[in-house]
């Protein structure tokens, strides 16, 4: 890390933490932001300062991805910390929250330390770690939340698995209040979801596929809201996709119950018609919903009901997707496309730019208790420069993730990351 001063000038500064949208620059020294604002200009920098012209493009705090599966250890054929880190950097993400569905499961403090050490060696971006809520993600016995907390996890979750045992969930929520860390849930009532593979409705009926009713999401959300009201715990629904569940979140927030909500780009950008001719790259969990539900997700992002947009990055091998739709594994990659896909909401005039960026910077940082997501002096110089209007076409084969299961293959996007810095060091630069 160089101690030499480095200024990035002639940029549109966007800092959602302070509602700032102005033209200026950022001054970096020893990996930290020394100063920023309108007064950071090339002709006013101290002698010996390295000057980099941002070409008038947008400079923002590095994105914080609150929900991603990195697959290491144990599933390195799908993704590694190195390939995930490279993909994240290309998407403007400087911090990834890694979920515990690895082999072995991250339900023990020694595994937290192992993942942290591996990441420090191989991953070019910052890694936060979510610990398992139950041992082995089995939903039967609570994991050692206290020891995991001491080891440095930022949250607890069973990832893709809902906790079916309501008493276990109540105890976990109550116990988690001792550590002031959120429990992140997959909101889907498991018995209603059953072996379904796409959302209930006309499309599922036409295609002859087993369906998951939208009510499965709302029922589990309603159940957990009442448990949160009982316990005072912090609770976050990771990827909501239905109007009914979002209405439940609105009511809970109105009652000042300690809940937050997230979604992923595929839920605000795609609907169940994307399954088309049984496209397995469009099989996700929860499933893509109807157009009415998709629009409800967009409205919830715009009005703040949804706090966080995360990638829900879940790499799957080619073999697990080259199967009949009913047998293919759910999940898509999303690190490189999270920002540009979400920028559709801004370009379509559905949400302001600062509000949109807040859901991917300071809001997830606050959720996870991370010192990230803003341009404040003294913060780590984790920043991203992007061209707001640059058009490009997604080609899954060119994405940097080890797996290529993107739901957006062939889609035209507007907005591209040009350069990403972590602790003041460039970790990605776009080459046209």
Please report which confidence band the pLDDT of residue 47 belongs to, taking 50, 70 and 90 as the band edges: confident
Ordered domains of the chain (ranges, CATH): 62-368 (3.20.20.140)
Q: For residue 361, give both structure tokens.
A: 């910077």
Q: For the segment 319-370, what is each residue's pLDDT rounded down to a tens digit?
A: 999 999 999 999 999 999 999 999 999 999 999 999 999 999 999 999 999 9
Confidence of residue 46 (pLDDT cuts 50, 70, 90): confident
Q: Residue written as tokens 């940097």?
A: 400
Helix (H) or strand (E) segment spanning residue 352 = none
Q: What is the mean pLDDT of residues 260-286?
A: 96
Distance CA 399, CA 390 (A): 17
Tell me the average pLDDT across 238-267.
Answer: 98
Contacts of 62 by beta carbon, 8 Å cutoff, 6+ apart: 92, 93, 94, 95, 125, 361, 372, 373, 382, 383, 384, 420, 421, 422
pLDDT of 44 reads 86
Q: How far is CA 47 from CA 5, 42, 55, in A?
A: 9, 11, 22
pLDDT computed for residue 65 by the predictor? 98
Q: 145-158, pLDDT tens digit by residue?
A: 999 999 999 999 99
Does residue 306 register a pLDDT over 60? yes
pTM of this prediction? 0.97
Mean pLDDT across the stretch 44-51?
A: 89
DSSP labels for 364-402? Answer: HHHHHT-S-SS--TTSB--EEEEEEEEEEE--GGGSSSS
- CA 161, CA 147: separation in Å to the nearest integer? 22
Residue in the structure block whose two tokens are 């060696």: 121
- 360-381 pLDDT, tens per residue? 999 999 999 999 999 999 999 9
> Which pLDDT score is estimated for 1?
52
Q: What is the mean pLDDT of the chain?
A: 96
DSSP annotation of 10: E
Confidence of residue 3 (pLDDT cuts 50, 70, 90): confident
Q: What is the pLDDT of residue 45?
A: 87
Q: Which tens digits make up the pLDDT trace of 278-290?
A: 999 999 999 999 9
Reported as a single tens digit per residue, the pLDDT across 168-219 is: 999 999 999 999 999 999 999 999 999 999 999 999 999 999 999 999 999 9
pLDDT for 4 equals: 85
pLDDT cut 90: percent of the chain above it: 97
Q: Residue 2's pLDDT is what?
A: 57
Please state the φ and ψ torsions of residue 333, each to the nearest 5 degrees: -85, 160
141-150 own/partner pairs: CB under 8 Å, 24+ apart? 141/168, 142/168, 142/171, 142/172, 142/175, 143/107, 144/107, 144/108, 144/109, 145/172, 145/175, 145/176, 145/179, 146/178, 146/179, 147/108, 147/109, 148/107, 148/108, 148/109, 148/112, 149/179, 149/181, 150/109
């Amino acid at each position: 890390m160089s101690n030499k001063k480095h200024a990035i000038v002639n940029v549109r500064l966007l800092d959602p933490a302070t509602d700032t949208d102005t033209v200026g620059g950022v001054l970096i020294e020893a990996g930290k932001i020394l100063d920023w604002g309108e007064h950071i200009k090339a002709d006013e920098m101290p002698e010996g300062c390295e000057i980099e012209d941002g070409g008038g493009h947008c400079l923002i705090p590095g994105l914080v991805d609150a929900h991603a599966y990195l697959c290491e250890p144990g599933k390195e054929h799908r993704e590694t910390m190195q390939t995930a880190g490279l993909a994240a950097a290309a998407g403007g993400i400087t911090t990834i929250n890694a979920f515990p569905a690895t082999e072995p499961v991250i339900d023990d403090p020694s595994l937290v330390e192992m993942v942290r050490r591996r990441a420090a060696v191989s991953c070019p971006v910052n890694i936060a770690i979510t610990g398992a809520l139950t041992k082995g993600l089995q939903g039967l016995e609570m994991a050692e939340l206290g020891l995991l907390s001491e080891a440095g996890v930022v949250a607890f979750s069973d990832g893709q698995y809902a906790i079916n045992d309501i008493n276990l969930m109540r105890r976990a929520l109550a116990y988690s209040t001792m550590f002031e860390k959120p429990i992140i849930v997959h909101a889907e009532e498991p018995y209603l979801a059953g072996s379904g593979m796409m959302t209930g409705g006309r499309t599922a009926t036409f295609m002859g596929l087993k369906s998951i009713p939208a009510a499965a999401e709302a029922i589990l959300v309603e159940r957990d809201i009442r448990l949160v009201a009982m316990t005072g715990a912090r609770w976050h629904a990771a990827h909501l996709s239905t109007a009914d569940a979002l209405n439940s979140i609105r009511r809970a927030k109105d009652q000042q119950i300690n809940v937050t909500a997230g979604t992923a780009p595929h839920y605000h950008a795609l609907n169940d018609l994307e399954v088309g001719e049984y496209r397995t790259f469009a099989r996700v969990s929860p499933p893509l919903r109807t157009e009415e539900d998709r629009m409800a997700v967009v409205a919830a992002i715009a009005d703040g009901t949804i706090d966080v947009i995360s990638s829900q990055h879940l790499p799957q091998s080619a073999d697990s997707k080259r199967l009949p739709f009913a047998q293919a594994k759910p999940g898509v990659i999303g690190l490189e496309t999270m920002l540009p896909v979400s920028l559709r909401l801004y370009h379509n005039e559905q949400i302001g730019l600062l509000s949109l960026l807040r859901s991917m910077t300071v809001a997830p940082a606050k959720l996870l208790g991370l010192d990230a997501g803003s341009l404040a002096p003294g913060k780590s110089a984790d920043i991203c420069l992007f061209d707001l209007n640059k058009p490009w076409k997604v080609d899954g084969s060119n994405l940097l993730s080890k797996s290529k299961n993107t739901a957006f293959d062939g889609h035209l996007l507007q907005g591209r990351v040009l350069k990403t810095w972590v602790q003041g060091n460039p970790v990605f630069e776009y080459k046209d």
